[in-house]
Amino acid sequence: MKITGARVVVSSPGRNYVTLVVETSDGVVGVGDATLNGRELAVASYLRDHVCPLLIGRDPARIEDTWQYLYKGAYWRRGPVTMTAIAAVDVALWDVKGKVAALPVHDLLGGACRDGVLVYGHAEGRDVEELSDRFAEHLERGFKAVRVQAAVPGAAGTYGISPGDGRVYEPASSHLPEEATWESTAYLDFAPTVFAAIRERFGFGVHVLHDVHHRLTPIEAARLGRALEEYRPFWIEDPTPAEDQSAFRTIRAHTTTPIAVGEVLNSIWDVQTLITERLIDYVRTSVSHTGGISHLRKVYALAELYGVRSGAHGAGDLSPIAHAAALHLDLAIPNFGIQEHMGHREPAGEVFRTSYTFSDGYMHPGSAPGLGVEFDERAAARFPYEPRYLPVNRRTDGTVHDW
Ligand code: CS2
Ligand code: MG
């Protein structure tokens, strides 16, 4: 069997998604997600102009060889654009392999290690009361783990807070990036009160998570971790900018609050120090941004040696194809921790028909051959690409800060 076609489809059913479609001489079609929020067309061009021509004529069964060919063959290594492009090819080839074998991808990866994949949802609010009500709704829907984000008083544009007009949280805006304002001092005083309120109302029988979104210095993060210990968070995420792996030594020396890092990192080398020095508890690298299933499973295998668990990024800007791929891998690895499940807003469901399910706080990728996602290209054509940017964050004196 040979690869006979590879094309990139950029569409915006609810938000922008970049999808790679790979066709084979046997008529089997595989799909991969290549979405990099706010920089979508860079990956689309990387694939269209530099990768798709190389795929034609290759044997789709040789997934690892194709991975090495694209990674080492480019000479220029790592980085979100390269690793997202390679990921799309890798995931599409796993989809093909599953369809050829008539097996779900998790069976190709060694089979299920558990009955379901524990997922966490997002509760947020413009104040603690609103957050608390959203939290209660998540519990009613069956979630066993919920991330909590509340607007810091005086900073309406705090990360993770939806506009409050019934719209789902989606930070990307058209035209120029929106600008948010941030001051860590107010946040550090406020964050423990959020946890206190949630634990007081809901007790300790549910996992509570929180995303700091890269905003603190190492010593501030250490202080936050220590202040939250009594509320037993499942984790705090990205307490400092993730690219400075050594910063986590400072945090680790001061607190037992579990740490999750990695959604902006793209390779095993980016998380090597974090894992081998046991500076984190959960690694958040994702299928889409970390070279696909083939590379992410190496990250997880390294993590397993050091007692680090998975906690993959699963925001709505990773397409349903990425979510399906993540669930297959989550099911098959021994050191699974938790999976983010933000969901996708409509009309994404008209373009991506998925077979994964949610029940009682757990997801399952289903048993359809391959990934179990049908990509409807004709439906995708009805939702053309819209340029969008993530926000930029500034401190109150105007200094650009991590968003
Ligand atoms: C976030 C994301 O899900 C998360 O934990 O940090 O919402 C992130 O902001 C977006 O994926 C950026 O595109
Ligand atoms: Mg995050």
Domains present along the chain, CATH in parentheses: 3-103 (3.30.390.10), 108-368 (3.20.20.120)
pLDDT in tens, 283-334: 999 999 999 999 999 999 999 999 999 999 999 999 999 999 999 999 999 9
Give the distance (Å) from ligand 2 centre to CA of residue 5: 35
Atom of ligand 1 nearest to the CA of 403: 9
* Minimal-distance CA residue to ligand 1 atom 4: 315
Q: How many residues does the chain have?
A: 403
- Ligand number nearest CA of 161 is 1
* Ligand 1 site, CB within 6 A: 37, 211, 213, 263, 313, 315, 317, 340, 390
Name which of 41, 36, 39 is nearest 10 in CA terms: 41
pLDDT by 10s per residue, the chain, length 403: 999 999 999 999 999 999 999 999 999 999 999 999 999 999 999 999 999 999 999 999 999 999 999 999 999 999 999 999 999 999 999 999 999 999 999 999 999 999 999 999 999 999 999 999 999 999 999 999 999 999 999 876 688 887 666 566 777 787 789 998 999 999 999 999 999 999 999 999 999 999 999 999 999 999 999 999 999 999 999 999 999 999 999 999 999 999 999 999 999 999 999 999 999 999 999 999 999 999 999 999 999 999 999 999 999 999 999 999 999 999 999 999 999 999 999 999 999 999 999 999 999 999 999 999 999 999 999 999 999 999 999 999 999 999 9
Provide the pLDDT for residue 166. Answer: 59
- Helices 184-202 and 128-141 cross at an angle (nearest 10°) of 50
Amino acid at 360: D
Most informative mutation of 119, 122, 213, 290 for ligand 1 (most atoms within 8 A of CB): 213
Looking only at the bridges linking them, the beta strands covering 357-359 and 362-364 are antiparallel
Contact between 235 and 311 (Cβ < 8 Å): yes
Q: Whose CA is nearest to atom 12 of ligand 1?
A: 37
Q: Which ligand is nearest to the CA of 393?
A: 1
Are the C-beta atoms of residues 248 and 261 closer than 8 Å to each other? yes
Q: What is the pTM of this model?
A: 0.97
Q: Please give the distance of CA 351 from its chain centroid, rounded to a whole number.
A: 20
Catalytic residue numbers, as ranges: 159, 213
The alpha carbon of 315 and the centre of ligand 1 are apart by a number of angstroms equal to 6
Whether residue 47 contacts residue 88, with contact meaning beta carbons closer than 8 Å, is answered with: yes
Residue 109: predicted pLDDT: 98
Task: Write down the pLDDT at residue 156.
Answer: 65
Pairwise CA distance, residues 351 & 382, whole Å: 9
Nearest residue by C-alpha to atom 8 in ligand 1: 315
DSSP 8-class letter at 173: B
Instruction: For tokens 């297959």, name the residue.
Output: 328
Note the ligand closest to the C-alpha atom of 322.
1
